[in-house]
A and B are shown apart, each in its own frame.
Chain A
Amino acid sequence: MTISQARQGLEKKEFSSLELTGSFLAKIKSKDKKISAFLTLTEDLALSQAKEIDRLISKGGKIPVLAGIPLAVKDNILIEGIKTTCASGILKNYIAPYDASVIKKLKGAGAIILGKTNLDEFAMGSSTEYSAFFPTKNPWDLERVPGGSSGGSAAAVAADMCCYALGSDTGGSVRQPASFCGLVGLKPTYGAVSRCGLIAFASSLDQIGCLTKTAADAQIVFEAIKGKDPMDSTSVEISETRVSVKASELKIGLPKEYFVKGLEPGVEKVVRKAIKRLEEAGAKIEEITLPNTRYLIPVYYLICTSEASANLARYDGVRYGLAKVFGPEVKRRIMLGVFALSAGYYDAYYLKAQKVRTLIIEDFKRAFEKVEAILTPTAPSPAFKLGEKKSDPLEMYLNDIFTVSANLAGLPAVSAPAGFSGKLPVGVQLIGRPFEENKILEIAKIFQKNG
């Protein structure tokens, strides 16, 4: 059930929020045994929120657009009084003392929180297999991963255990699971959404995003969570709201460096089909070049691990549990980061990566002089099997090849479902100019509608 459908049902009084919430909770209880998307259920919170919304509805007043509609929240976003583990042994008993700013906004809008979803420990991973508790399964094929790190959120939405979910995206952690699970996943512009109350991984890359069933739903959620917050000095006020997009006036770029061998043939077919649909709708498609694409993975992993090693230094046993229980991927990344920042290596690794980042951003600036949006595959393959890449960290890193650029440049990007490779969903990514979230979502609607 989409947000729009739930909204309609509530307005027409086809069901109450309490009934809607109850039916999702029942679904979670029956389905999640196999999928393992949730780490914590917040049943009491959800039911009390739903009763309150029903009371408001019965009084007849106008209610906010997300009111009464259930969502799931990635377990690295704080909800007051609720366990927030980050899927780590260190935080397994941590009760959040306050609400993240996005949660404050959603609670204020009457949203119903069903529970907290699984992720790779500290959001470090691309499969949700690095959760300290258990891996999450892809609802399309239980032998496959849902992607990551927001894999629990993606699986929960895909299995219709909630209407939508919040995730976080540092290098593709919302978009890649959206692609693997057949959903729309939006990573907003750096600064568009407050990160106060999001457990930090890499501060120059992290953004909170949403996983929804449609592009229209993503616009609703983005509208509700965006904006400046005094508690996050990187957040900004956004003037751009809804835009109308005419396909015939669109110019979309295809970076030739993103269409190379290594792309699974089924994925390539889906992407080409999406391009064709946009062309048929009247959009102009142009080949562009982003020449520094081959440096993306080293630059991204040097920067994110360096920032992570600084952010994770707070888990020294003073305020939380002890760092001894970090899982292997977190340890690996802390070590990489500490190495890249250490005397003698700082210039050659960390500083160099930050300089190449400038080149990567210049690539995008040049491209956006010619085109309004850039279309690429979201991931090189559809969902892979559990265990397939877990033992080879470098191979897991290479899976992020198409998604990390938007984080390095701070650009908004969305993955939207565009077809199937065999029985598995495949997403197409659109990268936009800063603060043009709504435009790329409108473009996604065009190729989805013409499908």
Chain B
Amino acid sequence: MVKITKQQVERIAKLAGLELKKKEVEKFGKELSEILDYFNLLKNINVSGLKPTFQPAESFFSEEINIMREDEVKSQDEEKVAKMIEAAPAKQGRHIKVSPIRKVETF
């Protein structure tokens, strides 16, 4: 039986950038335990020597999985650019304002 502890739920939530209420921590702990317990079905299979398939085209019907193109700058329609910036919650001129992503931390 898989048991996802309260501490694990809090750690996952932190990694995911999700803020959970106390009640949610409990609920998700129980649900994730149940789901992962079912997923443990995979424990029974031997996959040694098998290659993972990260996208279906790669092993089923296409040899070409890396589609390359020239790294060119293409100018975009000004109006479209303005609309995209407009959609952001905080902006200044042609820039999108961002809060600091991360303080310097040691791991």
Contact = CB atoms under 8 A, between A and B. Distances in A.
Interface of A: 94-95, 97-98, 189-191, 203-204, 230, 233-234, 236, 292, 294-295, 297-299, 301-302, 309, 313, 316-321, 323-324, 326, 328, 331-332, 334-336, 338-339, 342, 349, 351-359, 361, 364-365, 393-394, 397, 407-411, 434-435
Given A191-B57, A295-B42, A339-B12, 10 more contacts: A97-B84, A317-B89, A319-B88, A320-B87, A321-B89, A323-B17, A338-B15, A351-B52, A409-B56, A409-B60
Interface in B11-66: 12-13, 15-20, 24, 28, 31-32, 34-36, 38-42, 45, 47, 50-57, 59-62
A319 B87 contact: yes
A357 B57 CA distance: 12
A98 B82 CA distance: 12
Contacts of B88: 318-320
Given A410-B56, A410-B60, A324 B80 contact: no
Contacts of B54: 204, 354
A233 B67 contact: yes
A335 B89 contact: no
Nearest to A339: B12
Given A358-B59, A359-B45, A410-B61, A335 B32 contact: yes
A234 B55 CA distance: 9
B94 interface: no
A236 B62 contact: yes
A394 B34 contact: yes
Interface string B72-107: 000000001001101111000000101100000000
Nearest to A397: B35
A233 B48 CA distance: 31
Contacts of B89: 317-321
Given A191-B57, A334-B16, A355 B28 contact: no
Interface residues of B, number: 49
Nearest to B98: A318
Contact of B39 (A349, A359, A407): A349
8 contacts: A190-B56, A298-B40, A319-B87, A335-B18, A355-B51, A361-B53, A410-B61, A434-B60
Contacts of B17: 313, 316, 323
Nearest to B47: A355
Contacts of A434: 60-61
B31 A358 contact: no
| Chain A interface SS verdict (over half) | helix
- Top 10 A-B residue pairs of the complex, sorted by shortest distance between their CB atoms: A410-B56, A354-B52, A97-B83, A298-B39, A355-B47, A233-B67, A434-B61, A204-B55, A338-B16, A355-B50
B16 A335 contact: yes
Nearest to A204: B55
A342 B87 contact: no
Given A321-B89, A394-B34, A335 B12 contact: yes
Contacts of A359: 45, 47, 50
B5 to A, nearest CB: 12
Contacts of B47: 352, 355-356, 359
B72 to A, nearest CB: 12
A297 B34 CA distance: 14
Contacts of A204: 54-56
A393 B31 CA distance: 8
A335 B28 contact: yes
Nearest to A205: B56
Nearest to A91: B87
Given A318-B98, A356-B47, A94 B15 contact: no
B96 A190 contact: no
Contact of B53 (A320, A323, A342, A357): A357
